[in-house]
Structure 1
């Protein structure tokens, strides 16, 4: 495989994927909505100049039918990374669900029309595996793995998670109806780590900004997340691309910890530099002031105080992924944000 189409390649995760492919001398076709907005991809053009790879810029829009057809012609594989990751939206259907599902259809149909694409790597999410942390308890599970699909999210409750599970299901439906190309899915947990661009507005960076700014200084919600380094997410995509035997879904998580434990990792790396939480916030208090943190009462009731365990053994065994320790992820991310004056 020599020529790879990457959607969403200017984003937080996608830019690391593009860099990884360029470092390995691939020809990367990067799709953007507006080629004239060069600031979005100038950092990647500079990276390409230092590698043996080749970067091509193509225009395409997730919501425009047939938009990816030309870019896919002659490609060996597609890495479909583009999908909205935001908790700041006005209309869940318009801003989350439509781009996720319609974009997936347009990209995968382009793969079928190309006649050359043999593999599609889809960036899904752990949110397609579970919605609320309470799901694990309600389903009588001791952990989540690639066998589960999110059953608790909807357009009105956790709509981002709903968009991810619906888009992935649509991808599997399309994949199983054809035999031109093979679908492999990557399901990262909460992606953290340094950004390749100071222009990134990823929710991962927003989450870190909230912690470092003292937003949770009075107490952190007892919510557990799986965490994974953005560089490992990129590596997993490339491993899945190059491994002829890769198949199915791949849950990515270095470990699961709660927000307070995450803050403690920051404190250990940067002692007394930030106003970090020292305790958990009481659940009844969160129910009273959750609106200040954009947390609904339903979200708080179903996520605060519940255990979460994620089994990422397949990513280690089938892909050979060796995870960067979360301690290093935290240190590198804060350092990058300080260097870029984002905090």
Structure 2
């Protein structure tokens, strides 16, 4: 048993290194790809000048510089943050509720974000936030519903995974009903198109100032959950087993939900609703590397970042002159993978075979 454990550690470290190299190569290739034809030489001249002040100052101004540095690079960095964040939050949510179908939005977060966005677009609530009103209201809705789920699940006794799921489903239904009602009474087709596009997810609004605020929080969240691998491993075993081992999961569950809610709210704010990443990536990683969270959290973060970078590239270049919502691309890729996971006989959630 000891040899098996020791043998598994280098494999995970090696995989992480390989994925990190692939991530760096993906960044290098993705920045050269887009609907606007720019030579690879020009792309890297701009990047070298912006990062290290190498080259002529004229490189840092003009249309080419704006496309590379203000449009493509922010999207790539945001794709890394969103892909890594959603993948890790998906792992945490599946452990918290002990449910293989859990994803970052399972506890009513998606419905809360949808309601917030719908209120912003249809009724103009949050207009004080200006052009960011839709994203900020989505963040408020997502985070607010997460807090309500947590409070509701603790009514009449301490929360557990089942009560969290039931509270999430109930509040999700309420939020969805209100959103549907607002959409039904709205007669502005442009507003409905705006809501639909946001709900499908997009990285087109990536801005350096927002990334500078959100990226460190996502990285800190991933690092924090990596240090919590022992508790997360216990969560997969259940509350009864953990209590017999001397650990009460209740307080950890609350802390983890608050942190994941903050991470999801921020990601919803900058990218809208992007599904499947937080559901599929955790299962792919568990199939290959087992259920030890110490190993799978860093790997899932890197894999999620890589996949979202290329999904964003596809959404930008598949149809010249237009952009497909990234949520559609992810669903097209994710649905077949999900079916494959269901028919695979040698994998069970929690590592059972």
TM-score of the aligned structures, taking structure 2 as reference length: 0.26
Say which structure is richer in strand: 1
Larger radius of gyration: 2
Say which structure is richer in helix: 2
TM-score of the aligned structures, taking structure 1 as reference length: 0.26
